[in-house]
Amino acid sequence: MTASDPSRRPPPPIPLTLLTGYLGAGKTTLLNALLRDPDLRDTAVLINEFGEIALDHLLVEKIDGDMMVLSSGCLCCNLRGDLITALEKLLRNLDNGRASFKRVIVETTGLADPAPLLQTLMQHPFLVMRFRLDGVVTLVDAVNGFGTLDHHPEAVKQAAVADRIVLTKSDLLDPDDGAAKRDALIARLRRLNPAAPILDAAAGEAQVTAITGCGLYDPARKIPDVSRWLADEAIAAAHSHGHHHHHDVNRHDARVQAFTLATDRAIPAAMLDLFLELLRSTHGPNLLRMKAIVNIEETPDQPMVLHGVQHVLHPATQLEAWPDDDHRTRMVFIVRDIEPRVIRELFDAFLGYTAPDRPDAQALTDNPLVPFGGRDR
C-alpha cells in the first residue's frame, strides 16, 4: 500500500455550523424545524442540555450516556462539558462505527461569546483536520432586538461575527408599527454586519440551504467561492455610506465596525507574518473577525486564504489557483474600539507606502522595540 493510496488519506473535514443568538431569540424553535428537513439527515447536534430542545417525538435510540439518535437520522450530544471533549467523543463514535454523521451543528447558550468556540475550532491541532467551520448563524429577536442590542454586548458580538443573521418573531410585531420597527432593526444589523445576509424566519427564509454552505468552499461545486465567503464588496459599499449616518455613541454596536483593505501589490510571506503578528499583539482582543485572500509574492498564482478570530488565526489555506480574475489582496475586518485608519496605516507602512509622521516598512521590521520586529528575530 503506497502513500498515495486513497485509503490512507485523511477523510475530508466535516462541515460545522455554530448556531448562536441571545436568550429567547428562538434557537430551539429553529433547530427543531431544521432537524425535520431531510437535507440535515446524518447531522450531529451539540446542545447545552437535552431539556432545551423538544426531542420527545424525534427520539428513537440512546447510544451511550448523553448521546442519542433522532428519527431524522441526526445524532444529538449533550454539551455540558468542554467543546473539545464533545467533538472528540463524536469523532470516536464515528470512527468506531457507533455513529454516522456528515455535518455538525453546535448550539450555544444565549449568553455565549462565540469567539472562544471559534478559536477552539481554529487552533486545536486535531479538530482543525477533522472539522471545517461552515459558518456562524446568529438569531435576532425582532420584537426585543433593539433592547437586546442596547443592553447586552454579547448580542452585539454575536451579530457582528455572523455569516448569516436570522430574524425571528417578526410575525409577532405590532401590526401598526411592526413593519417600521422591523426595517429599523434590519438597518441597524446591516450597519453592524454589512456582509451577512439577513433571513426572516417568519417569511420562511431560514431554510437549510440558506443557512448552510457559508464557508469558503461551495458545497455544491466543491471549489472555493471566495467572493461569497469574503463578501468584501458588501462591506466596502456599506462603509462608503456609513459616514453619512449618525449613531448613538452609547450603543454597544457603535463600537463595532467592518471595513476592507485591498492592494494590487503582492505581499512577501514574511512581511505578511510580521503584519499579522503585530496586529494580533496590539489589537488582538478587539479583532472580532478577519477574513482574507492574499496575493503572496513567492506564490503569485496560488493565493493564501486566512481566517482569524481575535488573536487566533486558523491555519492558512493555499488555493491551487485564483478563483476569479480579481487577483488583489483583500482583507475584511470586523473590529471593536479600533479606528480603521489605524490598521490601514499599519498595513500601508508594511507595504512601503510612505506618509508623514508614520513609520515605514524598514522601521517596523528592523526596530527591535517593535513587537515581533527585527530581522534577527
Q: Write out the three cell numbers for 112.
A: 455565549
CA dist., res. 211 & res. 195, Å (int): 14
* Cα separation values, 208 from 44, 69, 257, Å: 15, 20, 29
Amino acid 333: pLDDT: 92
CA dist., res. 225 & res. 229, Å (int): 6
Residue 203 CB burial class (10 angstroms; 0-12, 13-18, ≥19) = exposed
Nearest by Cα to 267 from 179, 165, 349, 151: 349
CA torsion 308-186-215-211 (nearest 10°) is: 140
Amino acid 253: pLDDT: 73
Amino acid 29: pLDDT: 84
Q: Write out the three cell numbers for 312.
A: 487566533
Instruction: For 69-83, write each residue's pLDDT tens digit.
Output: 666 666 667 665 578
Amino acid 369: pLDDT: 41
Contacts with 147 (C-beta within 8 Å, 6 or more apart), sequence order: none
Domain architecture of the chain: domains with CATH: 6-215 (3.40.50.300), 232-366 (3.30.1220.10)
Strand order in the sheet with 59-64: 59-64, 67-70, 75-78, 43-47, 103-107, 14-21, 131-141, 164-168, 198-200
Amino acid 269: pLDDT: 94
Instruction: For 99-136, write each residue's pLDDT tens digit.
Output: 888 999 988 878 778 888 888 888 888 898 999 999 99
The tens place of each residue's pLDDT in the chain, 377 residues long, gives 455 555 567 788 999 999 999 988 988 789 888 888 888 888 888 876 544 444 444 444 455 556 666 666 666 676 655 788 888 888 988 999 888 889 999 888 787 788 888 888 888 888 989 999 999 999 999 999 999 999 888 899 999 999 999 999 999 999 888 899 999 999 999 999 998 999 999 999 999 999 998 988 777 767 788 888 888 888 877 766 554 444 444 456 778 888 999 999 999 999 999 999 999 999 988 999 999 999 999 999 999 999 998 888 888 889 999 988 999 999 999 998 899 999 999 998 888 776 555 555 555 555 444 444 444 43
Nearest by Cα to 142 from 159, 128, 123: 159
Q: pTM score, two decimals?
A: 0.79
Rg (CA), the chain: 22
